[in-house]
Amino acid sequence: MAEIVFTKQAIQDIEDIALYVSIDSVHYASLEVKKIFKKAESLELQPSIGRIVPELKIKSVREVIEGNYRIIYRIVNKDLIHILTVYHSRRQLKPVNLRRIVKRDK
């Protein structure tokens, strides 16, 4: 079973999502955050289940989808996964920004 570690960037992303959703509903903000964490935790048993992020084409950088969000993560090794960022799927994910996040994680 792999350990899941959320980077500072991922935690900030989740906090921003919760803040934005809570403008309309604190209840739904809480549900959204719980779903994101649950989806990320599902990687403990199957880290390779996500697809390779098409913008990068790096085998160890993958993503899973939860609702409208892309949970982008790096498989560090068989025992460790870093959640790099959580990104709304409607936002354009610029490869240069993602490369910067991946580089910071090393």
Percent of the chain with pLDDT over 90: 78
The model's pLDDT over 41-83, given as tens digits with 9 standing for 90+, comes to 999 999 999 999 998 899 999 999 999 999 999 999 999 999 9
What is d(CA 99, CA 97) in angstroms, rounded to the nearest whole number? 5
Number of folded domains that form the chain: 1
Domain hosting residue 35, numbered range: 3-105
What is d(CA 103, CA 106) in angstroms, rounded to the nearest whole number? 6
pLDDT of residue 89: 86
Q: Is the pTM of this model over 0.85?
A: yes
Q: What is the CATH number of the domain that holds 24?
A: 3.30.2310.20
Count Cβ atoms below 10 Å from residue 48 Cβ, excluding itself. Answer: 12
CB of 70 closer than 8 Å to CB of 10:
no
